[in-house]
Amino acid sequence: MDPMQEVMRSLQELTLEVQTLKAENAALKQMVLTRDMMAQENPPLGAALEKYDGSPKKLQDFLDSYTIQFTFRPTLYATERAKVGFLIPYLTGNALTWATPYVTGTDPLLDNYTILVNAFRNMFDKPDIAFSAQESLLDLQKGSMDVLSYTSKFRQLANETG
């Protein structure tokens, strides 16, 4: 094959590849636009989500509120990164200070919600919560509580024991 023909063939291949990449890029842009529009049209479920400042007492409620969002809107938060990206803007104070180095870098924590939650627990959860919950569970008595209240308290304590 003549060198000029080879250059022309390579140019045609490159042109075709550029067209393919442009089409893929346009499709990805549309997907992102659609996702962003869905997020705007689908505000958080229930009451407005609370911001989290690093308080150990508020950690479980904070994480539970996001679990509810992710459970009932699986298509909106289909990836681990989407879950992490949704949660990060709700951090303030010590929690934001702790998260900032991760967010500004390329830490794998950004791509895995479970790793983020475990890191949160290691940093902000009271270490004695599980022990305290075990003690409370052993001391739990129905007494004058109705069955629903007793069951709810039991489940809460059982969950806190890990």
Contacts of 92 (CB under 8 A, 6+ apart): 51, 52, 53
- Domain of 159 in residue numbering reads as 127-162
Check whether residue 122 and residue 70 sit in a common domain.
yes
The pTM for the full model equals 0.53
Check whether residue 147 and residue 101 sit in a common domain.
no
Beta partners for residue 15, in sequence order = none
Domains identified in the chain, total number = 3
Check whether residue 93 and residue 154 sit in a common domain.
no
123-152 residue pLDDT tens: 888 766 666 777 777 777 777 778 888 788
Q: Is 103 exposed, middle or buried (0-12, 13-18, 19+ CB in 10 A)?
A: middle
* Section 5-12 average pLDDT: 90
Check whether residue 66 and residue 36 sit in a common domain.
no
